[in-house]
């Protein structure tokens, strides 16, 4: 597990950049943390570094949003799902086994159906100083890449 302190939006942007250096088609990023933790913000920064030109907005009401102009970029908010059966109704395998990037907010809701090579990022938000504590976990090539990239990265303290 990797633990990081994200002090501000600039740190979040830098982390997003580091994440995109580990991007390869098929990558899945799972974001958990309370409302306002920064899940959508992190997704927006990741999109920016992957040159997604459309403005990425929270998919709470659409549940899954697709951005496919220059790559397959899928953004899901599982908040309103009861369980993984609801996800199958959305044809979720299409996104899980895509040739792009699949980012899921509130991924804990459907964790049982996500591949073990998914990268899990949990954000704990301290409302008083607006600092975020991030825990990143997972296994497989995407997580291993992040572990390597973040280990020697001066931008983050932990």
Ligand X SMILES: Nc1ncnc2c1ncn2[C@@H]1O[C@H](COP(=O)(O)OP(=O)(O)O)[C@@H](O)[C@H]1O
Q: Which residues bind ligand X (CB under 6 A)?
A: 6, 8-9, 12, 33, 35-41, 105, 130, 132
Among residues 12, 33, 40, 46, the one that binds Mg ion under rule CB under 5 A: 40
Q: How many CA atoms lie within 13 A of 20 on its CB side?
A: 18
Q: Which stretch binds Mg ion (CB under 5 A): 15-23, 24-32, 56-64, 113-121?
A: 56-64
> Distance from first CA to last CA of the chain, Å, rounded?
12
How far is it, in rounded angstroms, from Cα 43 to Cα 97?
A: 19
Edge-to-edge strand ranges of the sheet holding 101-105:
2-6, 132-138, 119-125, 27-32, 101-105, 73-77, 64-67
Smallest gap from residue 94 Cβ to Mg ion (A): 22
Among residues 11, 13, 19, 39, the one that binds Mg ion under rule CB under 5 A: 39
Query: Of ligand X, Mg ion, none, which one sits near residue 41, judging by CB under 5 to 8 A according to partner kind?
Result: ligand X
């Amino acid at each position: 597990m990797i633990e990081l302190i994200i002090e501000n939006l600039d740190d979040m942007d830098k982390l997003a950049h580091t994440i995109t250096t580990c991007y390869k088609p098929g990558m899945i990023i799972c974001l958990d943390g309370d409302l306002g933790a920064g899940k959508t913000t992190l997704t927006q920064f990741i999109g920016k570094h992957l040159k997604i030109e459309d403005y990425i907005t929270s998919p709470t009401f659409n549940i899954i949003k697709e951005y496919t102009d220059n790559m397959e970029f899928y953004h899901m908010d599982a908040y309103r799902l009861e369980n993984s059966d609801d996800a199958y109704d959305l044809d979720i395998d299409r996104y899980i086994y895509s040739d792009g990037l699949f980012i899921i907010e509130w991924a804990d809701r459907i964790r049982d159906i996500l591949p073990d090579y998914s990268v899990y990022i949990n954000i704990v938000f301290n409302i008083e100083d607006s600092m975020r504590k991030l825990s990143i976990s997972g296994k497989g090539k995407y997580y291993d890449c992040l572990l390597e990239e973040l280990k020697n990265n001066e931008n983050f303290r932990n």
